[in-house]
Homo-oligomer: A and B are copies of this chain.
Amino acid sequence: MEHGFIAWAKQRAMRLPKIKLGIGDDCALIAPDGADAVVTTDSLCEGTHFILEECGPYAVGRKLLAVNLSDLASMAAEPVAVFLSLCLPRTNAESIAAEIYEAVCDGCQKYSVAIGGGDTNVWDGPLVVHMTAIGRARENGCWLRSGAKPGDRLVVTGKLGGSLLGKHLDFEPRLELARELYQLGIVNAATDISDGLGVDLLNLTVASRCGAEVDLDAIPISDAAIERSQGSGAAPLEHALGDGEDFELLLAVDSNRLGDLPSEVAGIPLTQIGTFVSRTGLWARNKRGLVQLPARGYVHS
């Protein structure tokens, strides 16, 4: 439901006052007095985004912070403060809250982020955790989804797929990588991979009013994607394209600046996996030539 709702919501909000960048990117940009504040918000619900009994509250807090910081990383923003909001089940409310908060504090220490405040409620439902993260844009602005141009190279960080085997609960938001890459001035657009390479790339191309041709053979596949494929019957590539929650970055890199693109930053590989093209949609090349790549699927050749 989310995509149709977002499109409608965007439309419905058009008569309201405008901020610099609103619904539809990874974060919003508010500029109350010239300085850009970058804002993002995410909820995690028990049963949908985590199984509390299996992972415990600490992992929930760690994921919540990392998901929000990943959104800031995808804009190359520097995190400033987070706001934590908890809807706690009655049983063990206090110890669950404390463990989540501990995880958030540990992460905030690591990434030098302040905890600005929040809200706690105890209720009859399962655990819902919510965070709003606020960052600062870099001196010359930040990465948007809308900046990709035909000819730009499509670059991905890290390896993809199989996140459910563990990475979705414990991953490194690409803040440091984003900071270093931003300084090079070679990235025209970016997003993070939360819904899956296919879906998030499609969103990026739609925002940039272009398309992308993906080199399927070049997609870096994680060991977890291979492991999952053994049980699922789907190919590892299918997991890399569709699993989601990789929280890696998808980047549009200026083709004239490819010489400045490092092969890795802070130990994270950067892999060229395609090219942005003027024809809208996602495309892949197989034996039969150029075929459409379904956002949620995989082209069998």
Contact = CB atoms under 8 A, between A and B. Distances in A.
Nearest to A23: B117
Contacts of A40: 117
A171 interface: no
B128 A19 contact: no
A98 B35 contact: no
A78 B8 CA distance: 27
Interface residues of A, number: 71
A45 B116 contact: no
Given A1-B94, A5-B97, A16-B108, A39 B114 contact: no
Contacts of A86: 43
B83 A2 contact: no
Given A12-B102, A116-B19, A121 B43 contact: yes
A48 to B, nearest CB: 5
A78 to B, nearest CB: 9
27 contacts: A1-B97, A1-B120, A1-B122, A5-B94, A16-B105, A16-B115, A17-B108, A17-B112, A19-B80, A22-B115, A30-B80, A30-B114, A30-B116, A30-B134, A32-B35, A33-B136, A35-B35, A39-B117, A39-B132, A40-B117, A42-B119, A43-B85, A43-B87, A43-B119, A45-B125, A48-B123, A85-B130
Interface of A: 1-2, 5-6, 8-9, 12-13, 15-19, 22-25, 27-28, 30, 32-37, 39-43, 45-49, 80-81, 83, 85-87, 93-94, 97-98, 101-102, 105, 108-109, 112-126, 128, 130, 132, 134, 136
